[in-house]
Chain A
């Protein structure tokens, strides 16, 4: 029988924007009295690195990204530059750095938690972090590159985690 209080998440994406959903859902899951495990695989491993301040969001190939200025006069802030700028423009150097900076500013303005704080909150709430051992080897990371308090394991361990729950998300 499965324990309805347990949930698992498979986190596969390593960009700044997609780093948020696993940590938001996991921390909220704990608040809702669930037991939560996250299995980080492929690019998702980035979310467990000691230094996540370098994660970036890219507008390249992302035509659905709204682009509004987080500062300046009201009329300027109301313009959505996303659909107005041809996507190939974003191949210019430092576009990711600039867009990531603007997204962080916008998030701060809206009272959204910092990524580092959300991750720390997950750890404080005892969300179980499992790093995919195979991907660590594949991408040439060392175990010292990652934060403390995580487990290194493989796909079979994910099934072991998932067996006792009934709420599983792939992100």
Chain B
């Protein structure tokens, strides 16, 4: 289960990434963040963000136009 949930629905690039960054920076290592986004570009972008920052993308789920990314903070 996620320790934090960030709802970035309705926001467009680059806001989901910026908000993800801000939320993760307040969390402790090993904690889990769920990011909810409606921006289809965030599928590639969250992956790229995790690649560059070392945070672990555990799963990406699409549910009726919403994307849920589960990220573990390093």
Residue pair A28, B14 in contact (C-beta under 8 Å): yes
**Does A92 reach chain B (CB closer than 8 Å)?**
no
Query: Which A residues are CB-close (under 8 A) to B18?
Result: 27-28, 31, 121, 125
Q: Do B11 and A32 have beta carbons less than 8 Å apart?
A: no
For the complex formed, measure the closest distance between the CB of B7 and the CB atoms of chain A, giving whole angstroms. 12
Give the contacting residue for A33; candidates B10, B12, B53; CB below 8 A.
B53
- A-B CB pair tally, cutoff 8 Å: 37
> Which residue of chain B is the closest to A113 with respect to CB atoms?
B15
B69 to A: closest C-beta gap in Å: 14
Contact status B52-A27, CB under 8 Å: no
Look across to chain A and name the residue whose beta carbon is closest to the beta carbon of B14: A28
B9-31 Cβ-contact flags toward A at 8 Å (1 or 0): 01111110110110000000000
Which of B18, B38, B39, B52: most chain A Cβ within 10 A? B18
Nearest CB on B from A55, distance (A):
19
* Nearest chain A CB to B51 CB, angstrom units: 9
A-B CB proximity, top 7 nearest = A31-B21, A111-B12, A32-B52, A28-B14, A111-B11, A111-B10, A112-B12
Name 25 A/B residue pairs within 8 A (Cβ), A-sorted: A24-B14, A27-B14, A27-B18, A28-B17, A28-B18, A30-B21, A31-B17, A31-B18, A31-B20, A31-B49, A32-B48, A32-B49, A33-B52, A33-B53, A110-B12, A111-B10, A111-B11, A111-B12, A111-B38, A112-B12, A112-B13, A112-B15, A113-B15, A121-B18, A125-B18
